[in-house]
Amino acid sequence: MATIGILGGGQLARMLALAGAPLGHRFLVVDTAEDACAAQVAPLLRADWRDDEALDAFAARVDVVTFDFENVPAETAQRLTARAPVFPNPAALATAQDRFAEKTLFRAIGLDTPAFATVDTRDELAQAVQAIGLPSVLKTRRLGYDGKGQFVLRSEADLDKAWALLGGHALILEQFIPFDFEVSIVAVRSRSGEFRHYPVTRNWHRDGILSASLAPFAAPSVEAQAVQHAHALAERLDYVGVFALELFVHGERLLGNEMAPRVHNSGHWTIEGTACSQFENHVRAVLGLPLGDTAALGRSVMLNWIGELPDANVVLSTPRAHWHDYGKSPREGRKVGHATVCADGAASLAKVLRGLGASLGREAQVAPVIEALDAAG
């Protein structure tokens, strides 16, 4: 029996603890919020990332430290390495926290990216737009998630607006990619270097937040390239644990958007859709245990509940649909739960989704997924 310390007490920590408990392991979660939703299933230590004394006490109580939140300061992670093994390692975390370092690494492993340039001044913004062209996307290098801290520049007039909003932060300008669709690959590397990956997942976003994921998303050429890049990233970073690589598919091009150094929302379907979920495999990886089977059992769709939960009973009474309520209070833009629907094939999954979407009044959310399933045959 080991105790796993998790920095961050949100739904990802909650699902890690729920996956690790059957293996006989315990968890200790650090969060500033008393109502952190992981605290409903694991002990909570209330502390700030900068509270060295509290974090030392935390490290003394755990066998290994990991994260549910990628923006834990890399210095905090680094400091903890003196007291407990920390996975993923702080250097990998630091790379994934900085969009410039991340995209530079993508290029170094041979993964194509949108053209990009750092921007620290208004003059540099003008120069970068000159070099990259319009439309383009201005993003904060750090602390951005779910489309926050971003501005799409469509005309010269947008430069001042974007600068008024984001100027003062370290920024990156990226070429806007009119992609066909977005995919991600969730992969895992263990302390012994064993590597596994889940099938490539197709993702749909609304207002910058993940709305739905479909897996496996059959496209053999994309799958092979995504696996190769995920493996190269894991090796280059000496990465231990689960991570997600988010990619744009544009014609024949596959471009790296970002990597998440943690279990990922686009991998929630693996709880019911595979033999060993991303959460269990993360626990196994950081403890140095053999990794579990990542193959998909049929097809799965995950629907995110943003802001508020729909009617649970509709999902609970749908065969092979699984309800997840994170125990959070409703708030606009907040991820409060999800559902995963599994089926043997595309046609049966589309049928269940159509019924579920209508009963929940969520037709718009399921429509693009049904369209993709219908196209897949």
The region of 156-164, 172-180, 269-277, 306-314 touching ligand AMP under the rule CB under 6 A is 172-180
Helix (H) or strand (E) run with residue 84 in it: none
The region of 9-17, 52-60, 171-179, 212-220 touching ligand AMP under the rule CB under 6 A is 171-179
Q: How many residues bind ligand AMP (CB under 6 A)?
A: 13
Please tell me the distance from the alpha carbon of residue 36 to that of residue 16, in angstroms, as a whole number. Answer: 14
Binder to ligand AMP among 68, 102, 182, 272 (CB under 6 A)? 182
Binder to ligand AMP among 177, 212, 283, 370 (CB under 6 A)? 177
CB of 274 to ligand AMP, least distance (A): 24
Residue 247 or 276: the one with the smaller Cβ distance to ligand AMP is: 247
Binder to ligand AMP among 137, 172, 187, 352 (CB under 6 A)? 137
CB of 258 to ligand AMP, least distance (A): 5
Phi-psi bin for 323: left (phi > 0), alpha (psi -120 to 50), beta? beta
Per the listing, tokens 């390495």 go with: 81
Per DSSP, 274 falls in state B
Residues 201-220 interacting with ligand AMP (rule: CB under 6 A): 205, 208
Residue 90 or 149: the one with the smaller Cβ distance to ligand AMP is: 149
**Strand, helix or coil at 148?**
coil
Per CB under 6 A, 176 contacts ligand AMP: yes
Please tell me the distance from the alpha carbon of residue 72 to that of residue 49, in angstroms, as a whole number. Answer: 7
The region of 62-70, 173-181, 264-272, 352-360 touching ligand AMP under the rule CB under 6 A is 173-181
Please tell me the distance from the alpha carbon of residue 241 to that of residue 200, in angstroms, as a whole number. Answer: 18
Residue 158 or 325: the one with the smaller Cβ distance to ligand AMP is: 158
Cβ proximity of 120 and 170 under 8 Å: yes
Strand order in the sheet with 116-119: 116-119, 171-175, 136-140, 150-153
Please tell me the distance from the alpha carbon of residue 140 to that of residue 377, in angstroms, as a whole number. Answer: 40
Residue 76 or 257: the one with the smaller Cβ distance to ligand AMP is: 257
Please tell me the distance from the alpha carbon of residue 289 to that of residue 246, in angstroms, as a whole number. Answer: 26
The region of 29-37, 40-48, 155-163, 175-183 touching ligand AMP under the rule CB under 6 A is 175-183
Per CB under 6 A, 147 contacts ligand AMP: yes
Cβ proximity of 3 and 24 under 8 Å: no
Helix (H) or strand (E) run with residue 88 in it: none
Residues 213-272 interacting with ligand AMP (rule: CB under 6 A): 246, 257-258
CB of 208 to ligand AMP, least distance (A): 5
Residues 88-127 interacting with ligand AMP (rule: CB under 6 A): 114
Residues in CB range of 162: below 8 A, 6 or more apart: 125, 138, 151, 153
Please tell me the distance from the alpha carbon of residue 312 to that of residue 291, in angstroms, as a whole number. Answer: 33
Residue 107 or 205: the one with the smaller Cβ distance to ligand AMP is: 205
What's the distance, CA 85 to chain centroid?
23
The region of 18-26, 169-177, 297-305, 345-353 touching ligand AMP under the rule CB under 6 A is 169-177
Which residues here bind ligand AMP, judged by CB under 6 A? 114, 137, 144, 147, 174, 176-177, 182, 205, 208, 246, 257-258
